[in-house]
Structure 1
Amino acid sequence: MATLTMLTTPMLAHAGDRLLATGGVTQIEGSAGGGLMPWAVISGYGTDKQIGGSLFYTHAETRGDFKLNTTGVALGLFNRVEVSASQARFGLGDTVPGEHIRLNTLGVKLRVLGDAIYEQDSWLPQVSIGAQYKYNEDFDFVPKALGAKDRSGVDYYVATSKLFLGAINGYNLLLNANLHATKANQFGLLGFGGDKRDSYRVYPAVSAAVMLSDNWLVGSELRYKPDNLSVYEENNAHDIFMTWFPHRNVSVTGAYIDLGRIANKDNQTGWYLSGQINY
């Protein structure tokens, strides 16, 4: 899932474009970052005088036969502002055979200070703030029956990212840390708020990645989530990922995912595969 923002060392930018991998990949809600969490980076390869962006498709499956397909697009404006849109389609497997839940997300991100790559003489990370408006098209079907309060909601977050060149035996290290204010159940797939809790709380997310070469990145993410529904306990999400950049404008990410309990099924581990085109 992940992303990699920036870890290349000696790669010359083309025609003023940013370096390879500096826009990351795309997380499941559509923002540039890792698979599970937004990073402070801005999507695409556009510099402060250019517009960049990305297109992505993601497929994930768990051992309980839950399936997630997500498509989306993001625009990076002058390496300062990012806008994104995505739709996730979540198949409910044998929990509710033949049915699915659709979640639409519109996001905006603003880089407020720092540069994750170029300010190597400072410990100050790149810092971005963002918001994601989410709308559950199938709220009345399963989420409402489980006790969710709302079909739509807004997540707010602060993201920080910093690249440390040659930090681990000569390999580049990327660290990210976020704070999310949210009421979303399973990222919003099961609605927002619940009978147990219907108020915003702040949850952390962290990730680390190492660039093994100019074309390969490996890392891990951990995202804490709310537990608002008394009918089913919700657990935190974790992944271990590897991303391949076969071409400057293309990335492929594979990951092992652990989403804990989903609805009536425990130990929902599985896999994730995502492809992305950057420009």
Structure 2
Amino acid sequence: MTATQLTAPRRRAATDSPRSLSAVLTTFIGLGAVLMLAPFAWLVVATTHSTSEIFSSPPALLPGSHFWENFSGLFTSLQFGSALRNSVVVSLVYTGLGLVVCSAAGYAFAKFTFRGRNILFTVIIASLALPGQVTLVPLFKMMVELGWLNSYQGLILPNLALPFGIFLMRQSMHSVPDELIQAARMDGAGELRTFLQIVLPTMRPALAALSIFLFLAQWNDFVYPLIVQRTPEAYTLPVSLATLHGVQSTDYGQLLTGTLISVLPVLVLFLFLQRYFVAGLLAGSVKQ
């Protein structure tokens, strides 16, 4: 038997080993995907059933015929349309303004040298350790004094300077070469033009990642809107859905239908921005 004949089985074994490992990893990933998608699939199915069918035993796993009942009842039993409009307006405006504020602050911390810069940035990072409940009472008193209860500005303006957003943009700005900014200044571009036309276009992955965080933070916020929005016409989606929980009974068909409606914009946003998401989180991990 020749040496070539002896080494052939070893080569086949070495080739089969990565293939078997890939098959095992693919199987585990597939199982994980099924486990993560199963609750969402059940949510979609549950919106087509009544409350009694949702809690039936065995549970209903196939779509029913109560979706339009739940959908129409959702908009007639409470002011769900107003809550949906409020959430869309507040979340979109908050995301747009938050991107401007956080990116401008991150640019200042990354590319400018001024007295107290490190101390101020340390205070911003330290504020990440504070739970949001600590600022609820002071914020509520400020909203009362400003007359901003039941208003869009009361929901949007207080949290625009998100500490995590400033940190993310500051780290991302480090990846912008200083030579590029200096060249723009030498060509006569002002700071605002340099920031808008030179720096921001290179920050698209980080801006996309930050927009997801900002939108989710505002879209899913429950406690703060519950405190500052005093009438049903001013409620956002989380607060409006919470009113479906009755003292004696709860219409879970309507509740799950409203939950599905509230989840869909988040899924659409992530599907459009998913290719930028990981790149945005990794931006600035390596300094130039």
- Confirm or deny a common fold (TM above 0.5): no
TM-score range with shorter-chain normalisation?
Answer: under 0.3
Structure number with greater CO (CA < 8 Å, separation at least 6) is 2
Normalized per residue, which structure has more strand?
Answer: 1
The structure that is helix-richer by fraction is: 2
